[in-house]
Amino acid sequence: MSKKIVITGGAGFIGSALARALVARGDEVSVLDNFSSGKRENLQDVTGALAVVEGDILDAALLDRVFTGADLVFHQAAIPSVPRSLAAPLASHNANATGTLNVLEAARRCQVRRVVYAGSSSAYGEPPSLPVVESMAPMPLSPYAVSKLAGEHYCRVYARVFGVQAVILRYFNVFGPRQDPNAQYAAVIPRFITAALDDRPATVYGDGEQSRDFCFIDNVVQANLRAADADGASGKVFNIACGTGTSLNRVLALLGEALGCPITARHEPARAGDVRHSLADISQAKTVLGYTAPVDFSTGLARTLAWFREHRSTR
């Protein structure tokens, strides 16, 4: 018999992809989301196949209700944005740090077997060398990064002190279908794709030579599924990425090639709190979790472009 699985932030971009994967393999899934950035339409193809609870991870009584009987919690809920954390640091801290502490406390009370935590590569800041490895000292550069790192530390401590198994996945720049291109601080790939499809210039902060280890959503789903059961993973941190860096100018060039016409860039000043380069060593996730990063960047970009082309009139 399948066991109950809870996804906090399950109406968001990553949480909803995870929900679809779990429903597809027949699991009993409950989504808890306050819909601050998540959307019901992200779950429309699995409506009826899972439970959706509207509420906040800061509500301890609600967490107890949702976590009762759960074997596993994928904790994705957060305010996931560097610029939003610069505009409202306390809100980020409350959702991301205090919210994670609340989730762990409820997991402890409800005897949840394992929590898989959505950490962030922003923990590294500007590292002394690349690629980054999990043993490097974190050096967060924004309130967002601090709040996500605080969540990691709480996970590690709960695993050590309270015996709540907790696995920390440090996602690098995740992209794919359903990522919101219209949010005030939308991620770069959905912004570039929708600008290109609408025949508008793409806004680039800085010179465009900054690079990211972009990671297609299916890879992140695989990492979560493996993290749910892997032996020797609790209390540990894992980079989840592809292990290849791509500059923003290169992303624009690839999109231009795929669409058959170059995309115009409109440059604006580089943003505070952004790092110049980001690149992951993913060998620990490969060894311990059995993570394979199954979809490379260019395949993921092509799939994402195809999805936005198909759905742009309905989003």
Ligand X SMILES: NC(=O)c1ccc[n+]([C@@H]2O[C@H](COP(=O)([O-])OP(=O)(O)OC[C@H]3O[C@@H](n4cnc5c(N)ncnc54)[C@H](O)[C@@H]3O)[C@@H](O)[C@H]2O)c1
Residues making contact with ligand X (CB under 6 A): 8-9, 11-15, 33-38, 56-58, 76-80, 95, 99, 118, 120, 148, 171, 173-174
In the complex, least distance from residue 250 CB atom to ligand X, rounded to whole angstroms? 18
In the complex, least distance from residue 262 CB atom to ligand X, rounded to whole angstroms? 26
Q: Rank residues 12 and 143 by Cβ distance to ligand X and give the closer one.
A: 12
In the complex, least distance from residue 264 CB atom to ligand X, rounded to whole angstroms? 25
- The Cα 248–Cα 236 span in angstroms is 31
Q: What residues pair up with 33 in beta bridges, in sequence order? A: 54
In the complex, least distance from residue 199 CB atom to ligand X, rounded to whole angstroms? 26
- The Cα 143–Cα 93 span in angstroms is 7
Which one from 117, 124, 144, 154 is the annotated catalytic residue? 144
In the complex, least distance from residue 11 CB atom to ligand X, rounded to whole angstroms? 4
- The Cα 283–Cα 289 span in angstroms is 10
- Residue 132 per-residue DSSP state: B
Q: Rank residues 35 and 162 by Cβ distance to ligand X and give the closer one.
A: 35
In the complex, least distance from residue 220 CB atom to ligand X, rounded to whole angstroms? 8
**100-104 own/partner pairs: CB under 8 Å, 24+ apart:** 100/57, 100/75, 100/150, 100/151, 100/154, 100/155, 101/151, 101/154, 102/57, 102/58, 102/60, 102/63, 103/8, 103/57, 103/63, 103/73, 103/75, 103/77, 104/154, 104/155, 104/158, 104/162, 104/164, 104/166
Place of tokens 């077997």: 113
Is 144 among the catalytic positions?
A: yes
Q: Rank residues 88 and 259 by Cβ distance to ligand X and give the closer one.
A: 88
Neighbours of 155 (CB within 10 A): 29
Q: Rank residues 27 and 56 by Cβ distance to ligand X and give the closer one.
A: 56
Place of tokens 């999805």: 307
Half-sphere exposure of 79 (CA within 13 A, CB side): 27
Neighbours of 129 (CB within 10 A): 8
Q: Rank residues 57 and 168 by Cβ distance to ligand X and give the closer one.
A: 57
- The Cα 292–Cα 175 span in angstroms is 17
Catalytic residues: 144
